[in-house]
Structure 1
Amino acid sequence: MNVGDHRVELRSKAIGMLEGGITQKEITTRLNVGVRSVRRWWSQHKCGETMETKPRSEWPQILKRLSRIVIKKSLWKKRQSTRKLSRRLSIRGNPISHMTIQRHLGQRIDARPYKRPKWPKVTQKTSKSIEIRSGS
């Protein structure tokens, strides 16, 4: 469980057990929670704070639902760069940078950029050696 995911009932139960004289270590094994969580709840209780989960501040989402769908569909199109995609979405009224699109593709969809394989340069010298090998 993530931090703050424990129910208020569980927190209250832990506080009641602590007030009843049960040790923190026993509470962690009985309720299957972390020691640090129990300590934090106890200190909050002693300070008079509530057991409610505090609201978290989050960054507003830049990518709207429609944009995420467009980005996902663009994976199947050939030669669709993130810069072109960013321009296309900006024209539709949803300005997004190409880096945001790259981050979304890498983190959320787990897509990696296509890299063309490197081939050696063909010069006159190498082309003659290729002709000689293929001719014999």
Structure 2
Amino acid sequence: MLLIDLGNFTPGLSLAGGIVIGVAAAVLVLFNGRIAGISGILGGLLSLPRRDMTWRVAFLIGLIGAPILAALFGMPAKADIQASWGEVLVAGFLVGIGTRYAGGCTSGHGVCGISRGSIRSLVATLTFMAAGFLTVFVTHHLIGA
């Protein structure tokens, strides 16, 4: 049986967030010719020679600053991470390796690639999602049981 936690069910805010993400991705590609994939944006800052740093830094400041700004207006984000720092770091490292092999991350493939009709992005996003579903199933139902 599917149960919805109505205390945390926020379809209006979720829709607004999705619209903002979509508009931001569209603006970036229309005015800058760039895909809004976080791994590519951050990777461009870490690689040498560093080109077009201004928009990359501005994008990352917005990414980090938006939840801070929302919290100032009384909309705190709740994060209940049930993992140790070591587990989070290992998971982040594995995600980084995966994005390298996939040629991008879920934001680039899932938001921008699929909207452009990229079959490669569709396959990558389905693979990301399947791996996430499998990980949750194994950790919550097989290992955690």
| TM-score, reference length from structure 2 | 0.25
Q: Larger Cα Rg: Structure 1 or Structure 2? A: 1
Structure with more of its chain in helix, by fraction: 2
| Higher RCO, 1 vs 2 (CA within 8 Å, ≥6 residues apart) | 2
